[in-house]
Amino acid sequence: MTAITWDPVDDRTYETGVDHGVLYVYDPTTKAYGKGVAWNGLTGVTESPSGAEASAQYADNIKYLSLLSAEEFSGTIEAFTYPDAFAVCDGTAEPATGIYIGQQSRRTFALSYRTKKGNGSDDNYGYKLHIIYGALAAPSEKAYATVNDSPEPITFSWSVSTTPIAVTGFKPTATLTIDSTRVDPVKLKLVEDALYGGGSSEPKLMLPDEVVALVGLKAAGE
């Protein structure tokens, strides 16, 4: 019998940082997500699930059962800047080159990004690759201020709601996470090559069923 031990060095895991942001804008004409573009200047992504709240039901003078409300996924994106392709997701149109008008229709989009994993002996132990599907950005405040003796760049922020998409054998979801420390590196590389592009392949969004099918494939020699 093995006794429980607490806090061995390699088990002191944590997550930090955000990088490798990629935007995929939905095209209503093709009914598919378009080519991925890098989101430089990404400073933070806050995931804010809600719902799944228990509602007590009573009968025969006792608590008979509890019903859970639907779970929703929303969040916040913060950045110093954003890709030109995001303008249509933020309700901006370009009727002529360099001319922009607001209060237009907003496009749905997807976002992928990474967070670092570390432990007590290695601050680059691994990472998690996150994908958010069916996202819709709400109008947000843009605060401009004069330059002074301690200037700071403007930080843009968008509240995001989502519409879940289908996953075979499971409830629809708006979020998927891949843990690099638990997935075969060869299979992970295939997923990243699809998401980020490379060689003759354009960066494209992978849907949950596609990720599961690809990661579930046996690598050569297995």
Most confident of 9-23, 24-38, 130-144: 24-38
Residue 23: what pLDDT? Answer: 98
CB contact burial 154-163 (16+ within 10 A = b; e otherwise): eebebebebe
- The arithmetic mean of pLDDT across residues 43-59, rounded, is 83
* DSSP string across 76-92: EEEES---GGGGGGGT-
Taking 70 as the threshold, does the pLDDT of residue 55 lie above it?
yes
Q: What is the mean pLDDT of residues 70-78?
A: 88
Inform me whether the pLDDT recorded for 211 exceeds 90: yes
Beta 71-79 vs 126-137: how paired, if at all? unpaired
Give the pLDDT band (50/70/90) at residue 78: very high
At residue 152, what are phi and psi to the nearest 5 degrees? -135, 145
157 close to 137: Cβ distance less than 8 angstroms = no
Interval 56-65: pLDDT, tens: 888 887 888 8
CB 49 within 8 A of CB 71: yes
User: What confidence tens digit (pLDDT) does each residue in 98-152 have?
Assistant: 888 988 999 999 999 999 988 888 788 899 999 999 999 987 777 777 788 788 8
Render pLDDT for 152-204 as a digit per residue (tens, 0 to 9). 888 899 999 999 999 998 999 999 999 999 999 999 999 999 999 987 889 99
Instruction: Give pLDDT, residue 86.
Output: 95
Q: Which two tokens stand for residue 98?
A: 């360099």
Q: What share of the chain is helix, strand, coil (3-state, %, to 5)?
A: 15, 45, 40
pLDDT at 218 over 80: no
Confidence at residue 102, expressed as pLDDT on a 0 to 100 scale: 86
Query: Residue 28 CA to chain centroid, in angstroms?
Result: 21
Tokens encoding 14: 């944590």
pLDDT band at residue 217 under the 50/70/90 scheme: low
Give SS3 for 143. Answer: coil
